[in-house]
Structures are given as C-alpha cells and as structure tokens.
Amino acid sequence: MLLTIVSAVFVFGLLVLVHEWGHFITAKMTNMRVDEFAIGFGPKLISWQKGETLYALRAIPLGGFNRIAGMDLDEEENDAGDRAYFKRPIWARMIVILAGSVMNFVLPVVLFFLIFLCVGVQTPSTEPIVGAVMANRPAASAGIMAGDRITSINGQTINEWANISEVFKDSAGKPFEVTYLRGDESRHTTVIPVLDESSNRVVIGIQGSVVSQEVSIGEAASLSVEKTWRIFKAMLEALAMLVTKEGASSELSGPIGVAQMAGEVAQHGFIPLLNFAAFLSLNLGIVNLLPVPALDGGHFITLVIEAVRGKQMSKKAMYYIQAVGVVILMSLMIFATFNDITR
C-alpha cells in the first residue's frame, strides 16, 4: 500500500509539475501576471512568495493550477492592466493554453533518453531465467526469485522462456512441480498458476530477463524520439477504438486505477516506473487536447472562435461552456472510477 501511494504521488506530481510549468513559463514569457503556481489541490502544505507569484504545494496531489491574472474575463476587477490574460494577444493566449500538453509530449522524450543512456536498449532474453517476480503471486509464494533459472516443470525440460507459458497454458489451479537453479544449487518447489483476469492468461507472476546493449548519446536521442512517436500513434489508435468499438469504454481507468498500476509497476524498479510515467504523460497530453470545454483543447477552440469573430466571447457564454465541460469531465471521472472499483 505504501509503495502504491508513494509511486502514485511521484507519477502524478511529475506529470502535473511539467504540465503546469509549461503554462507558467509561457505565461511569464508572454508578459502575463501569474499570481500563483500550485501543485495539488486543497489546503496549502508549503508556500512561499517570490516576486509577484506565490508558489504552493497543496495537500491533494492529483492536479495543479496556475492562477493567471485576468483568466476570469472580469474587466471590472482586473488589476493587472495590459498584463491580464484576456488583454494579451490571441497568439500569446494560444501558446499558453497549448504549452501544458506540449510539455507532456516533451517529458517522455526526456525520460526515454535518460532510460536509454542508463540501461541501454533492452531486448527480451530467450533463456528461461527469471528477471522479476511479482509480489503476492504464486511464484513469490513458492520462493522463486529473480535470477533463478527454471530447468524443468513436472519433469518436462525447459530450454527457453516460451516453454514456460506453454506448460502453464489452460492450467489454472493445478499444482506444478518446478525445478530451478539458484547459482549452482538445484531446488524444487510447487507452484499453482492463477488466471489473470485483466489479460485472460494463466500466470504465476514472473517476467523473463532482458539483454542490455549500451547506446551512444546520439543513439539515445534518436531512439527516445522514435519510441515517443510510436507510442503516440498507438494511443491515437486506441483513442479512436475507445470511441468506435462497443465495450471498449469499460477499459477506461481513473485515478484509482492509475495509482494501482503505478504501484504494480514500481514493484519492478524505478526504471519501469519512469517508463510508466512517460506513457502516462503522453496520455495526459493527448487527453488535454481533446475539444472538450474545461480542457485545454476546449479552451483553445474558444480562442479560435474568438479569432474568427474578431471579439471575445461573453463572460456568460464562457460560463455555460465551462459548466458543460465540468459536467462531461465529472461524468467521465465517475464512470472511470466505477470501472476501477469493479475491477
């Protein structure tokens, strides 16, 4: 539980920090007055004033915000003059709105670059050597550890990793006698596979080992961009499927599901957690650009409308647009949380 909480706070905090920093730095660069830069919601835990901006860390680490003067379009209460958000040119406001998602697209490139530099390019090994053992799974309960080499299961010789899955296939609940090498010592244990409902596969909770190959700085940079682009395209396809494929929405996850996944990934180490953060950052960037009121994408659409009309939308119209957006987002959040709980 503690690992899940710490991992979730780290992932959410990193993503929100990068996203809000994008809004913050571009607001400063376009000469807008930023009254507060906050990570989290709720009561302030830590805050300090630097110049005109209050920096704060708040109690609920599931978001963050920039309080930019004049974003409420209230000209009567505006005390920022020409530095108010609604007084700045449309191009400047567009940059500020898009900057959060842009930073969420940049973060994966940076994280993948660091990962490639630290661990190189990793490819799955065909050797039947355990690379990782998941907690609270049959293999962990049976005493199998990372580094063990599985030599036979129920007397059947295991020559490569693929043999393990073949033996356990369609055998949930049945005991298997597993022989493995730990160093030079041969050991025996009994493992009872279980059915993993999320993947619909019979598992014992182990992962194979990987082979690492070092790469240069240039190769790491190229590979990080390539990997980010590949995942980005796959996410767009998944988003399209979520909208068009019947039943796909049941796979939607909310904060509870993401926190649980963060905890599970963290069991395998810090590098997998960084991979997960990069993946989630791309997801956040794409979702925020959807043309839904209350999201950055919806806000950007209102700016496009303003550019076409030649004048700003009324405060009343903006209020109703934002209200619709909040209802949509809250509905999706409730639905996703329901999915998390039922899973």
Give the span between the Cα atoms of 225 and 217, in whole angstroms. 13
Tokens for 95, please give them: 């940059």
In the chain, the amino acid numbered 134 is M
Cα–Cα distance for residue pair 301/288, rounded to 1 Å: 12
Cβ count within 10 A of residue 308: 7
Output the CA–CA distances (angstroms, integers) from residue 253 to 71, 112, 258, 335, 341, in the order listed. 31, 24, 7, 9, 10
Number of residues written out for the chain: 343
Is 20 catalytic? The answer is yes
Q: How far apart are CA 254 and CA 341, in angstroms?
A: 10
The dihedrals phi and psi of 312, each to the nearest 5 degrees, come to -75, 150
Crossing angle (nearest 10°) for helices 270-288 and 255-266: 160
Q: Using CA of residue 121, residue 125, residue 130, residue 136, what is the dihedral sign?
A: positive
Cα–Cα distance between 266 and 161 in angstroms, integer?
Answer: 23
Q: Which residue type sits at 318?
A: M
Residues 284 and 15 sit within 8 Å (Cβ to Cβ): yes
- Choosing from 20, 77, 214, 226, which is the catalytic residue? 20
Catalytic site residues?
20
